[in-house]
């Protein structure tokens, strides 16, 4: 093809700006628009060849009769066309030097245009007109236009094509010829010319459009990476070939040298061979065998729900299913989502071992706000090789850590928040959906989400189903109604599920299929590996000595006891009382209000002492909040717990007798749970502390108390589905004197749930089965700015509630220029008058802690008191760090009428 040496070759796409993190220009000070067009087109083609899973390529080629060559060319062309809007006077005039050269060459630049239209929006409008003039169907032309217009993360709204463009904004005269040249460069440089006739009447499904839009955005990000495509200034001769050669380093720049490649013979290995090779399990349990068998037998993508008791090996079963489903259905990645950072941290280590046993050579990511502080992940990040090298085994990528990119790693372990962000009408939701589209998605503890998060989750499942993404859901305590809602959300229609009392149980439903009028589903009954009789003791708590005395009695012969309180304040108070009774070294306190360093130390210690190969210090008491409730592979001899909803009670029971213990005392030879944290009332349901009511509400607490009143034994696993469905159902429970109170509580609970569902609907992405085009997706976008996904504002959209404030907690010293860390073992001082060294930055980040959000006065006062030292503002790591200084003398810090203190064994105390 001809080179572009005329006016089009003078147009710019990228320029160097001082203060944009670059102290010197990267070679030339600008990069031409034609060069960027070709760079982007080549990046789109590279993504097709090296990143997109076979399933995703099939999704993007479906409307073209499965012709992947044509679909690849279309993606490359869309990426190449995305910046056509930069070939307009308003954009060209933004750079003074480039504007002067254009004017000197005879291309008029009118600076009288008022207001700024995004160049992406202009790209869409210009291409739409070109395609319509060439005879394209209007719907097909708009799909292309919307893809280009939304390449900065937000799509225009319905009716955007009706908005006129001023001729001087679009450009007149020579500008039209220049735009035609840029368009021709995109067509010829991407190899689109032979296929344009295929595309004029073809429109992908909306889910395919969204995924493809994400690929176009990612291609733009790669094309804009100066390490991959250095600035060249005026378009050089032969640059099309230069660009094509440079794109080969895209994987190295991304830190994704190799995708996860599941063993293609995994479905033929047999359950015993697979579980032995991947997990060292000699005899897989019935649930694990059934999961493997189901994954081997399904005919296409779908949703698998694994319901089995705690300790049945659901995690290993899910990973086995992910491997088999990926190999059979053409996926090249895994997303494993968990409810908390603590559970994600623990599962991350197990996923690394699973990958190592496969001999996997791929990139992994741990995705949550404190991921870089997790030891295994931090070690991977620090050992990552340079972009021109290649390491064997699992690696981490700093590029993937960037904003909006965490789901692009082939294997991702994350909090469920990262998945739910893909269900918000948010900026760059297309990139998040692209990251999920080629994976098998695994979600643990799906019962643990409130009505708001469940609403968002159902929205995400609808998109995953529409994209044909295989999904595996895990739960020990899933109410039947919630199971039905999740299955129907994924299937995109009503699903008649067999009402079976069988448990453990596997449920399968096929992804939406245009050729099927009815969503096909299947339910399998499985035998549990073991039965367990759990002694239940209801213990009213009238005073401070009740639980302490019961704990001492349970540990009379030694043993390990777990006590779970529903609030941090109750846990701290009880831990102090137990230390006085049992001794300082016999009690460990664990909750969410520790610094990152202390939280990491405590989590590691908890697993090392009470995990499968734990040292089991005895007698010992761990007092914890909900952080020890689920997904942690720890085992205790007995449990004392505050009254909580029945499903969560079973989760807590799952931390007992999980692993064999040769030193278990005779007194605790059978699992024993003591339910406390309430006081009986003569003519009303049990009264619970205010904190418990705030967290869980009266409705579920009272119904749980009602089903436990006359029980002395829980038979696991039989009691799990029976009692969960009773508590979450509508049947009458409890004595007559409770009924009026229960009725009021039920109405309040229902009203709250409906309100939360409505709140979720307001911020959720439009359902894929209801959206006619991309223009309907961002109509109520809650996030359209540069919001970081880890900011409190974003987190509050994922987990409904008041935004919390994270601070760096330090202790003042006698010098104003020095502060001291508060975490255990961190003795080095922190300079406030200069930027800390690399080790000092690590220490600072380890002092992060999130303040409780229940007091608006505390949050406001802390925000006013917190500060960022001036020298720190130049650091990419510390420029947003907010320091909160505790007094040097150890006295409480007074904020918002409350006293704040901190110590490594108690955590943050707020009183």
CA angle 447, 668, 563 (to 5 degrees): 45
Buried b (16+ CB within 10 A) or exposed e, 220-235: bbbbbbeebbebbebb
Q: Is pLDDT larger for residue 94 or for residue 293?
A: 293
Give the ranges where 256-313 is alpha helix by DSSP (H): 266-269, 271-279, 286-297
Find the mean pLDDT for residues 499-521.
79
Is the model's pLDDT at 18 over the cut of 60? no
d(CA 247, CA 237): 18
Is the model's pLDDT at 163 over the cut of 60? yes
Is the model's pLDDT at 782 over the cut of 70? no
Is the model's pLDDT at 541 over the cut of 60? yes
Find the mean pLDDT for residues 421-426.
89
Find the mean pLDDT for residues 44-57.
97
Instruction: State the pLDDT at residue 519.
Output: 66
Q: Is pLDDT larger for residue 791 or for residue 601?
A: 601
Find the mean pLDDT for residues 775-794.
65
Q: Is pLDDT larger for residue 139 or for residue 340?
A: 139
Q: The tokens of 327 are what? A: 């190999």
d(CA 664, CA 666): 7
Query: How does the average pLDDT of the chain come out, rounded?
Result: 90
Instruction: State the pLDDT at residue 388.
Output: 31
Percent of the chain with pLDDT over 70: 93
Q: Which residue, among 264, 311, 306, 309, has the nearest Cα to 289 in the 3D structure? A: 306
Kindly report whether the peptide bond that precedes residue 817 is cis, defined as omega within 30 degrees of 0. Answer: no
d(CA 745, CA 693): 11
Instruction: State the pLDDT at residue 400.
Output: 82
Is the model's pLDDT at 21 over the cut of 60? no
Average the pLDDT over each of 171-175, 222-226, 475-479 and give the range with the smallest value. Answer: 171-175
Instruction: State the pLDDT at residue 386.
Output: 33
pLDDT tens-place string over residues 680-694: 887 889 899 999 999
Q: The tokens of 527 are what? A: 């035998």
**pLDDT tier for residue 57 given thresholds of 50, 70 and 90:** very high
d(CA 685, CA 134): 73
Query: Which helix H or strand E contains 439, and what residues bound it?
Result: strand 439-443
Instruction: State the pLDDT at residue 514.
Output: 61
Q: The tokens of 804 are what? A: 């919390």
Find the mean pLDDT for residues 99-114.
79
**pLDDT tier for residue 838 given thresholds of 50, 70 and 90:** confident
Kindly report whether the peptide bond that precedes residue 598 is cis, defined as omega within 30 degrees of 0. Answer: no
d(CA 444, CA 417): 13
Instruction: State the pLDDT at residue 576.
Output: 96
Instruction: State the pLDDT at residue 470.
Output: 98
Q: Which residue, among 388, 72, 88, has the nearest Cα to 255 in the 3D structure? A: 388
Instruction: State the pLDDT at residue 792.
Output: 62
d(CA 338, CA 336): 7
Is the model's pLDDT at 819 over the cut of 80? yes
pLDDT tens-place string over residues 651-681: 999 999 988 888 899 999 999 999 999 998 8
Give the single-character DSSP code of 82: T
Instruction: State the pLDDT at residue 390.
Output: 34
Q: The tokens of 351 are what? A: 């996923």
Q: Which residue, among 330, 334, 332, has the nearest Cα to 318 in the 3D structure? A: 334
SS3 content of the chain, % helix, strand, coil (to 5): 45, 15, 40
Strands 560-564 and 638-642, how do they pair?
Answer: parallel
Instruction: State the pLDDT at residue 389.
Output: 31
Query: Which helix H or strand E contains 180, and what residues bound it?
Result: helix 174-190
Q: Is pLDDT larger for residue 208 or for residue 108?
A: 208
Find the mean pLDDT for residues 369-380.
76
Domains located in the chain, CATH noted: 8-254 (1.10.3210.30), 266-525 (3.40.50.300), 532-734 (3.40.50.300), 802-910 (no CATH)
Rounded to 10°, the helix 68-81/33-50 angle is 150
CA dihedral sign, ordered 231, 235, 237, 239: positive
Q: Is pLDDT larger for residue 903 or for residue 513?
A: 903
Rounded to 10°, the helix 314-329/341-358 angle is 60
d(CA 625, CA 677): 13
DSSP conformation letters of 811-877: EE-SSTTEEEE-STT--S-EESSS---HHHHHHHHTTEEEPPSS-HHHHHHHHHH-B--GGGGG-TT
> What count of residues does the chain have?
911
Is the model's pLDDT at 20 over the cut of 60? no
Is the model's pLDDT at 462 over the cut of 50? yes
Q: Which residue, among 352, 358, 353, has the nearest Cα to 324 in the 3D structure? A: 358
Find the mean pLDDT for residues 288-294.
96
Q: Which residue, among 334, 508, 328, 557, has the nearest Cα to 436 in the 3D structure? A: 334
**pLDDT tier for residue 633 given thresholds of 50, 70 and 90:** confident
Is the model's pLDDT at 79 over the cut of 60? yes
Is the model's pLDDT at 109 over the cut of 90? no
d(CA 481, CA 703): 17
d(CA 453, CA 460): 11
**pLDDT tier for residue 395 given thresholds of 50, 70 and 90:** confident
Instruction: State the pLDDT at residue 509.
Output: 95
First vs last C-alpha separation in the chain: 74
d(CA 647, CA 707): 12
Instruction: State the pLDDT at residue 797.
Output: 79
Is the model's pLDDT at 2 over the cut of 80? no
Contact 629, 343 (CB under 8 A): no
Give the single-character DSSP code of 595: -
Instruction: State the pLDDT at residue 371.
Output: 77
Is the model's pLDDT at 724 over the cut of 50? yes
Average the pLDDT over each of 34-43, 109-118, 142-151, 741-750 and give the range with the smallest value. Answer: 109-118
Residues 6 or more apart whose CB falls under 8 angstroms from that of 387 comprise 227, 249, 252, 253, 255
Is the model's pLDDT at 884 over the cut of 70? yes
pLDDT tens-place string over residues 230-278: 999 889 999 999 999 999 999 999 988 889 999 999 999 999 999 999 9
Instruction: State the pLDDT at residue 399.
Output: 82
Contact 707, 733 (CB under 8 A): yes
Q: Collapsing DSSP states into helix, strand and coil, what is residue 24? A: coil
Find the mean pLDDT for residues 536-564.
95
In 10 A of CB 790, how many CB atoms? Answer: 17
Residues 6 or more apart whose CB falls under 8 angstroms from that of 653 comprise 310, 534, 639, 671, 673, 714, 716
Is the model's pLDDT at 27 over the cut of 90? no
Instruction: State the pLDDT at residue 370.
Output: 77
């Amino acid at each position: 093809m001809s080179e572009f040496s005329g006016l089009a070759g003078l147009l710019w796409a990228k320029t160097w700006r001082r203060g944009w993190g670059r102290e010197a220009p990267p070679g030339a000070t600008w990069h031409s628009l034609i060069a960027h067009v070709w760079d982007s087109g080549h990046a789109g083609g590279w993504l097709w060849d090296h990143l997109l899973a076979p399933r995703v390529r099939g999704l993007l080629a479906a409307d073209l009769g499965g012709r992947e060559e044509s679909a690849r060319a279309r993606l490359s062309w869309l990426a190449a066309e995305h910046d056509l809007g930069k070939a307009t006077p308003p954009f060209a005039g933004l750079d003074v030097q480039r504007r002067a050269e254009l004017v000197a060459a005879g291309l008029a630049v009118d600076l009288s245009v008022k207001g700024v239209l995004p160049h992406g929006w202009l790209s869409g409008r210009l291409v739409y007109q070109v395609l319509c003039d060439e005879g394209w169907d209007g719907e097909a032309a708009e799909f292309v236009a919307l893809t280009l217009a939304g390449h900065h993360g937000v799509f225009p709204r319905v009716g955007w094509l009706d908005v006129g463009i001023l001729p001087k904004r679009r450009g007149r005269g020579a500008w039209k010829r220049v735009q035609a040249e840029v368009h021709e460069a995109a067509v010829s440089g991407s190899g689109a010319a032979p296929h344009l006739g295929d595309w004029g009447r073809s429109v992908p499904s909306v889910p395919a459009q969204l995924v493809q839009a994400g690929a176009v955005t990612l291609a733009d990000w790669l094309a804009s990476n100066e390490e991959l495509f250095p600035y060249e200034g005026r378009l050089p001769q032969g640059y099309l070939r230069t660009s094509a050669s440079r794109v080969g380093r895209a994987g190295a720049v991304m830190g994704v040298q190799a995708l996860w490649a599941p063993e293609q013979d995994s479905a033929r290995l047999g359950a015993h061979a697979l579980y032995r090779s991947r997990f060292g399990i000699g005899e897989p349990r019935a649930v694990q065998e059934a999961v493997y068998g189901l994954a081997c037998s399904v005919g296409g993508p779908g949703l698998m729900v694994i319901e089995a008791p705690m300790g049945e090996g659901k995690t290993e079963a899910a990973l086995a299913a992910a491997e088999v489903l990926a190999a059979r259905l053409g996926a090249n990645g895994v997303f494993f989502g968990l409810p908390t950072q603590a559970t994600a941290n623990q599962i991350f280590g197990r996923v690394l071992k699973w990958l190592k046993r496969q001999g996997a050579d791929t990139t992994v990511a741990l995705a949550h706000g404190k991921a870089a502080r997790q030891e295994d992940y931090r070690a991977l990040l620090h050992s990552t090789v340079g972009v021109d090298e290649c390491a064997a085994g699992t690696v981490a990528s700093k590029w993937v850590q960037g904003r909006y990119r965490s789901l692009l790693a082939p294997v991702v372990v994350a909090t469920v928040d990262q998945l739910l962000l893909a269900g918000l009408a948010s900026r760059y939701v297309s990139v998040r959906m692209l990251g999920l589209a080629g994976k098998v998605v695994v979600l643990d503890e799906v019962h643990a989400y409130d009505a708001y998060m469940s609403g968002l989750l159902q929205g995400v499942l609808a998109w995953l189903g529409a994209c044909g993404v295989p999904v595996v859901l895990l739960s020990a305590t899933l109410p039947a109604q919630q199971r039905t809602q999740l299955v129907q959300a994924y299937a995109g229609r009503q699903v008649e599920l067999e009402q079976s009392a069988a448990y453990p149980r596997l449920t399968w439903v096929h992804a939406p299929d245009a050729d099927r009028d009815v969503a096909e589903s299947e339910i399998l009954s499985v035998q549990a590996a073991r039965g367990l009789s759990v002694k239940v003791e209801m213990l009213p708590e009238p005073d401070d000595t009740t639980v302490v005395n019961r704990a001492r009695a349970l540990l009379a012969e030694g043993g390990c006891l777990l006590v779970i309180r529903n609030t941090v304040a109750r846990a701290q108070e009880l831990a102090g009382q137990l230390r006085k009774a049992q001794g300082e070294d016999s009690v460990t306190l664990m909750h969410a209000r520790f610094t990152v360093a202390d939280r990491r130390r405590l989590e590691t210690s908890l697993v090392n002492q009470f995990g499968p190969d734990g040292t089991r210090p005895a007698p010992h008491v761990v007092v914890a909040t909900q952080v020890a409730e689920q997904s942690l592979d720890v085992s205790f001899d007995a449990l004392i717990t505050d009254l909580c909803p029945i499903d969560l009670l079973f989760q807590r029971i799952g931390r007992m007798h999980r692993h064999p213990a040769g030193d278990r005392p005779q007194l605790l030879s059978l699992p024993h749970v003591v339910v406390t944290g309430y006081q009986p009332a003569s003519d009303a349901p049990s009264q619970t502390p205010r904190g418990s009511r705030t967290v869980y509400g009266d409705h579920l607490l009272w119904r749980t108390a009602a089903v436990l009143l006359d029980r002395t034994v829980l038979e696991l696993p039989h009691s799990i589905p029976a009692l969960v469905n009773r508590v979450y159902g509508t049947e009458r429970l409890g004595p007559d004197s409770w009924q009026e109170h229960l009725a009021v509580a039920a109405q309040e609970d229902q009203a709250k749930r409906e309100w939360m569902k409505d709140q979720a609907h307001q911020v959720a992405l439009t359902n894929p089965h209801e959206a006619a085009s991309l223009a309907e997706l961002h109509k109520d976008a809650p996030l359209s700015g540069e919001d970081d996904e880890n900011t409190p504002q974003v987190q509050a959209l994922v987990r409904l509630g008041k935004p919390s404030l994270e601070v760096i907690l330090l202790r003042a010293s006698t010098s104003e220029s020095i502060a001291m860390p508060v975490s255990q073992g961190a003795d080095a001082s922190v300079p406030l008058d200069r930027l800390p060294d690399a080790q000092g930055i690590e220490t600072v980040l380890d002092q992060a802690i999130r303040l409780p959000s229940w007091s608006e006065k505390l949050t406001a006062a802390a925000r006013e008191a917190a500060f960022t030292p001036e020298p720190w503002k130049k650091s990419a790591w510390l420029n947003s760090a907010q320091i909160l200084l505790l007094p040097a003398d150890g006295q409480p810090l007074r904020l918002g009428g409350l006293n704040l203190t901190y110590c490594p064994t108690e955590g943050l105390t707020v009183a």
